[in-house]
């Protein structure tokens, strides 16, 4: 429902830019169901209205999503212009922040049960041995900790540094 969304699609289509737009549709728009905020529930159709080839992946199967995305990336790289991928997902936490938001009343805690049973991180994780998965998780956690320490110890950038590498 944002103007910048349509402006981006229009410009990319007009100039045949090599962009894969990916829309993670979690069925919510801030603190309201998408059905309460949008006349068009299939968001990929909005891209099609800008003459951008679009696809939708409604199932949560990560392998299906990967295959569709790879195919679309190939098209984009071939010079055919932009593509749009709408992928259905679930918003695990609140709109902004690290907490749940069941207390706000716009969604129930019950609806997450379906998604927890089909958690694709767990599906992928189950393909690994327990030992390998724990090793990978440990490496990731260490990398995150090192990054946090680096960020906290780093000085704030100068005014000149802030505008470096910014499109003008």
**Per-residue pLDDT at 116:** 84
What pLDDT is attached to residue 166?
80
Q: pLDDT at position 33, please?
A: 66
Q: How far apart are CA 60 and CA 88, in angstroms?
A: 7
Confidence of residue 97 (pLDDT cuts 50, 70, 90): confident
Q: What's the CA gap between 168 and 163, in Å, rounded?
A: 9
**Is the pLDDT higher at 61 or at 35?**
61
Query: For the residues 105-126, what does the mean pLDDT come to?
Result: 85
**Interval 45-78: pLDDT, tens:** 889 999 999 999 988 889 999 999 999 999 999 9
Q: How close are the terminal C-alpha atoms of the chain, in Å?
A: 27
Q: Is the pLDDT of residue 20 over 90?
A: yes
Domain ranges of the chain: 3-118, 127-153
Sign of CA dihedral 97, 103, 109, 110: negative
Decide if 17 contacts 91 (C-beta within 8 A): no
Q: Residue 7 in 3-state DSSP? A: helix
Rounded to whole angstroms, how far apart are CA atoms 33 and 95? 12
């Amino acid at each position: 429902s944002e103007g910048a969304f349509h402006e981006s699609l229009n410009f990319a289509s007009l100039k045949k830019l090599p962009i894969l737009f990916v829309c993670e549709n979690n069925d919510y728009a801030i603190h309201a169901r998408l059905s309460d905020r949008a006349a068009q529930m299939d968001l990929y159709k909005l891209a099609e209205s800008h003459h951008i080839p679009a696809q939708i992946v409604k199932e949560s199967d990560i392998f299906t999503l990967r295959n569709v995305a790879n195919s679309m990336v190939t098209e984009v790289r071939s010079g055919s212009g932009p593509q749009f991928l709408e992928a259905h997902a679930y918003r695990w936490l609140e709109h902004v922040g690290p907490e749940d938001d069941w207390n706000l009343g716009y969604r129930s805690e019950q609806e997450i049960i379906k998604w927890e049973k089909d958690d694709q991180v767990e599906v992928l994780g189950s393909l690994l041995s327990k030992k390998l998965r724990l090793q990978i998780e440990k490496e990731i956690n260490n990398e995150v900790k090192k990054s946090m320490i680096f960020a906290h110890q780093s000085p704030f950038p100068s005014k000149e540094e802030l505008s470096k590498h910014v499109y003008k």
